[in-house]
Structures are given as C-alpha cells and as structure tokens.
Amino acid sequence: MIVESPIDLELTQLSGQTSQPPWCEVDGTFSNVVDINCNPVIFNVRQSDDFLDFNYSGNVSHKQAIDKLNYIFDLNFDLDKFYKYLGNHAELAQMPEFCNGLRLFLANDPFECIISSICSANNSIKRWTKSVSQIKRNWGNPHYNYYTFPKSNDLLNVYLDDEDEFNSSNIQDISMCTNNLKCCGVGYRAPYMRKASEMFTDEIDLHEIFKMGYDEAFETILEVPGVGPKVADCILLYGFNFREAFPSDVWIKRIVSHLYFDGKDISVAKVREFGMEEFGKNAGYVQLYLFHYARMSGLMKKLK
C-alpha cells in the first residue's frame, strides 16, 4: 500500500531523533513492532519514490494502523507549506536543499523516548541507539524478531551495574554479571534511568503530559534527575509532540549564533528562548532542520 505523503524515510530514521533507535532495516525495508491499544503490530515501511510503501500484520483495523503510521512519521504535516515558510526566511531558505523529505520521527512509546533522551546526553547517536536497542533486547517483550520497550515498572527492577547485580543475586563471579543497565553502555546515566523509571511508575502519569500546556509539561519533565532543558525539550518534541519545543545545546547555539547573531557568543538558554519566540509552532521542525543542514552543508565543520 502506497501512502502518498512525501518523506525521505532513511533520512528521517537516521537523523538522530531521540524518540527511539532506527527500526531494523533489511534490503531497504524498515520494520518494528508497534503498540496499538496494547496490541503488538509489525510495521514494514520502505521508500517508494517520494512516498512510503506500507504493510502491517496484527489484530488492528486498517484505520488504526494508518493513523499510527501517520503519527509516528508525522505524515499529516505539510512539508510544502513548511518549505515555503523556510523560503521566506533568508537564514533558512537553503535548508530544504539539504533536508528534503525529513520529518519528525515521533515516539510510539513516550517512556522509550524519555530513556533514549537521557541516554543521548553527552553521547553519540551510534552509542545511545545501541544502548537503547540493548535495553529492549534484555528486558522488553519479544514479538517475533522485535522487542517492545520495557515499561517503567519493569525497568525499575533492573540492576544498575555489575556490583548491584552481584550483591543482589546468587551469582558467584562478578565477571558473570551482565544483566544490568551499565552493561548496555549507559554509563553514569544508569541511576537517572532508574529514578525516571520510579517516577513514571509512582508519581507521573505519562498520559497526563499530553494534556498539559508546554510550560507545565516542561517543568514536569525537568523534575526527573539527569534531565536538563535540552533533554526535556527533546522528550517533549519527540515523545509528546510539543512542536514549540526548541532543543538547544552547544551545536544549536553555534548554528543560531552564526545565522542570526553575527557569531556572537550567546548562551544556550538565550538560543532556546530565541528559537521558541522566532519560530513558534515551527520551532521543533526548524531545530531539526538546522542541525541536519549544518551537518550536511559543511557549516558544522566551519563552526568547530
């Protein structure tokens, strides 16, 4: 089935959005298990010219599957209208040339996005996606060759590191302790993931965040240890579809400073405030395009 909304599937999957790791790719088809009303459904998508060729298997209706596909890949977002918006801003006008077809890659599981975003802090795309994929294989529920992300109450009970596992189990040799978070390569972030699991089990209802305004949602996510403003905005944008979020770090600071402030040294906080005010509901998309444009155009090398 062809879904006629223009997209660059590979670019969208591999653009480093912290909603989730890229789906499993075999011969150009990207596949994963997707939860639809507690039903595990296998989605298969591949590029067909500018569109998606989509099929699925699972106990859901055609409309439910299409609605979920449209949500995850943001297929209802009007890219042509967005490109006209970029074209009306001299600083942004070149971006569609380098980012054509790039869409938001939204979380099927918001809790997965929370853990992915925590894992991405001060980390490479390759390393955090490998770590999150390992967490899924270790403690998620298997469905054919795919794994769902563990629920917060399941991840809450996972050992932090080999010492925690050794002291809390019957294993006699600490070198055999491999069933813990640090063995997934998450490093110092393991306690943050444990605390996030606790908070989203006992204190914070994930579904309530969708109902909040941006400011309330931002302050709620900031309560999680290890989550600063940039990670919070990643969680809100990719996990909960708050499009006014403008995740800002040192790279976005350099890019925005170069394009809008004549290279002046401005704070990350100021860049975040500028992005949200300047771009409004387009802020999340503009941030996504800014980062990819800088990578592909050579601007990032120039700004190092």
Residue type, position 5, single letter: S
β-pairing, 51-57 vs 2-3, is antiparallel
Q: How far apart are CA 13 and CA 43, in angstroms?
A: 14
Q: Which of 230, 264, 281, 302 is catalytic?
A: 230
> At which residue do the structure tokens 């606790």 appear?
198
Q: Give which of 289, 272, 234 is closest to 89, Cα–Cα.
A: 289
Cβ pair 107, 238 in contact under 8 A: yes
Q: Give which of 65, 41, 99, 118 is closest to 290, Cα–Cα.
A: 99
Give catalytic status of residue 230 as yes or no.
yes
Q: How far apart are CA 129 and CA 117, in angstroms?
A: 10
Positions marked active-site: 230
